[in-house]
């Protein structure tokens, strides 16, 4: 029945800074979710090839150092270039298994020259087609030392059975206007992806659910000191300052009433699975709908620029 949607939250660690091996791990999780008859699977922020933990551990703000330059180059070399087919096997698997996918990647897009990278959230529908690539609007704090700011092009929603899904990266979820952009397009299943840790997910997941009267799925990755591959550049310097646990998970789901369906799960690698009932959205919208009967567009209205930004406009 279109009323029900079975979802999987993939709380896994990357093979850190290794694009190909992490994509293999992603494909294994997709196959496992499909075996459980899931219709949507969600992965954490920047999972492929991983979060730039070294910035806080190696003096990432130090100017013109060999460590920072070499780690950045290694990161860029393992980033995802969609135009070159890096996600083709993921799309084909989604099509074959009839499962939709939200995947957090570090993107190296050719439309911005192919040298800068972005924290991007990719939606792949059940036909294996990429519906949107949302580049994080504002990297957070030290992330700005390696990620570039994105644009509004990916602020899009997508139909999935009776649901309308949309998503944001990490602290973008604290930005009221991007949230409102998705609400205004009919979103009722909100995807919030994080690099990891319940300190991010435990409050905002329920808050967004109550504000929007939507389901909210928060998915985080895992990372421990033992997860750093032995061939990581400057590993000894990274390990020297690294805590035992860098990302403890915290993946969870809140219902449209803001109550937990799955509370934040810590240090558990694998899939978290739940079935969502669309009618719960309609029940909770009875008393509050932030872009419907409980809005005043004659008084306040949001303008959104969804144009994909580039430094050039070519005419041949």
Q: What distance in Å separates the CA atoms of residue 57 and residue 3, rounded to the nearest whole number? A: 47
Q: What distance in Å separates the CA atoms of residue 214 and residue 192, rounded to the nearest whole number? A: 12
Residue with tokens 């060999």: 66
Beta-bridge mates of residue 166: 190
In the chain, where the domains are located: 4-285
For domain 4-285, the CATH architecture is: 4-Layer Sandwich (3.60)
**pLDDT tens across 203-238, in order?**
999 999 999 999 999 999 999 999 999 999 999 999
CA atoms within 13 A on the CB side of 65: 12
The first and second tokens of residue 222, run together, are 């895992």
E strand or H helix at 266, and its extent?
strand 260-266
Q: How far is CA 5 from CA 29, 65, 175, 269, 286, in A?
A: 18, 49, 27, 22, 21
Q: Give the residue ranges of the chain where pLDDT is below 70.
A: none
**pLDDT tens across 88-125, in order?**
999 999 999 999 999 999 999 999 999 999 999 999 99
Give the model's pLDDT for residue 60.
86
Closest CA to 250 of 195, 190, 169: 195
């Amino acid at each position: 029945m279109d009323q029900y949607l079975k979802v999987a939250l993939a709380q896994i660690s990357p093979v850190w800074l290794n694009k190909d091996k992490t994509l293999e791990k992603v494909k294994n999780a997709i196959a496992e979710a499909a075996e459980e008859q899931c219709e949507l699977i969600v992965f954490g922020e920047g999972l492929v090839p991983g979060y730039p933990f070294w910035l806080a551990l190696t003096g990432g703000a130090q100017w013109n150092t060999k460590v920072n330059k070499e780690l950045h180059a290694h990161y860029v070399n393992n980033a995802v270039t969609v135009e070159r087919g890096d996600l083709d096997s993921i799309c084909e698997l989604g099509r074959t298994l009839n499962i939709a996918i939200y995947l957090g990647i570090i993107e190296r897009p050719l439309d911005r020259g192919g040298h800068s990278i972005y924290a991007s959230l990719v939606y792949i529908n059940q036909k294996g087609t990429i519906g949107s690539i949302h580049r994080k609007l504002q990297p957070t704090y030290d992330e700005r030392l390696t990620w570039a700011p994105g644009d509004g092009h990916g602020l899009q929603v997508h139909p999935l059975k009776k649901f309308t899904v949309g998503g944001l990266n990490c602290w973008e979820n604290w930005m009221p206007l991007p949230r409102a952009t998705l609400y205004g397009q009919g979103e009722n299943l909100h995807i919030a992806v994080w690099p990891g840790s319940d300190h991010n997910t435990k409050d905002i997941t329920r808050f967004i659910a109550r504000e929007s009267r939507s389901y909210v799925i928060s998915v985080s990755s895992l990372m421990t000191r033992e997860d750093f591959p032995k061939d990581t550049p400057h590993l000894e310097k990274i390990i020297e300052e690294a805590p035992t646990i860098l990302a403890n998970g915290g993946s969870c789901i809140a219902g449209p009433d803001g109550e937990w369906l799955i509370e934040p799960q810590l240090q558990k690698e694998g899939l978290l699975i739940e079935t969502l009932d669309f009618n719960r959205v309609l029940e909770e919208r009875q008393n509050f709908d932030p872009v419907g009967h409980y809005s005043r567009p004659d008084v306040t209205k949001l303008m959104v620029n969804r144009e994909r930004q580039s430094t050039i406009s070519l005419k041949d």
